[in-house]
Amino acid sequence: MSYSDQGNTGGAWRNDGGVPPHAFDPYLQPELFRGVVTRRVIAFFIDVLVLAVPVILAVLFIGVFGLVTLGLGWVLFWLVSPASVIWAVVYYGACIGGPHSATLGMRLMDLEVRTWYGAPGYFVLGAMHAVLFWISVSVLTPFVLLVGLFNARRRLLHDIVVGTVVVNNSVRSTIAQAARPY
């Protein structure tokens, strides 16, 4: 790296490749990660309920529509599975990509998803977070939660792959906010 490539580093040489450090240190701020795994489990069940209600309503509608149309409407049952997957991906993407960086269950449990360097979530991050979560749970069963017990940031396997950290938002308001990545 030449001296002219340094940008706004104040003339100092950097050998970290310009990568920012982790925004949340579990040793300096352990309260950010206290109870996160338990809260995530409860938030998951809340989110499953939020996801299930529209799907159940759609199934009931298709059932009644099938009765009214003498069985022809039941052909729409094949749409339930793909629509459920699309609904889940859009729900997680929109919620994590929204202003709170959390799903409704996470918000009720005072949790927030951030990138490892402290930036808020965005739609694609939220969608990939959900997809990798469902894949990891499908392959590893609920034992995927054990990964969170053996690291200081309480990150699960899909958090590590996607590059996110889930923090306790109730204590985050008392701590200085992380710098924006731009």
Ordered per-residue pLDDT tens for the chain, 182 residues: 444 444 454 555 555 555 566 778 888 888 889 899 999 999 999 999 999 999 999 999 999 999 999 999 999 999 999 999 999 999 999 999 999 999 999 999 999 999 988 899 999 999 999 999 999 888 887 788 888 888 888 899 999 999 999 999 887 655 555 555 55
Can you give the pLDDT at residue 16? 56
DSSP state of 142: G
Can you give the pLDDT at residue 182? 52
Residues 173 and 112: beta-carbon distance below 8 Å: no
Measured between alpha carbons, how far is 46 from 49 in angstroms, rounded to an integer? 5
Residues 114 and 121: beta-carbon distance below 8 Å: yes
Number of other CB atoms surrounding residue 108 within 10 Å = 14
Can you give the pLDDT at residue 3? 43
List, as one string, the DSSP characters of 13-79: ---STTPPPPS--TTT-GGGTTTHHHHHHHHHHHHHHHHHHHHHHHHHHHHHHHHHTTTGGGGGGGG
Cα–Cα separations (whole angstroms), residue 74 to 63, 67, 69, 85, 153:
6, 8, 9, 20, 48
| Bridge partners (DSSP) listed for residue 168 | 111
Residues 167 and 175: beta-carbon distance below 8 Å: no
Can you give the pLDDT at residue 13? 57
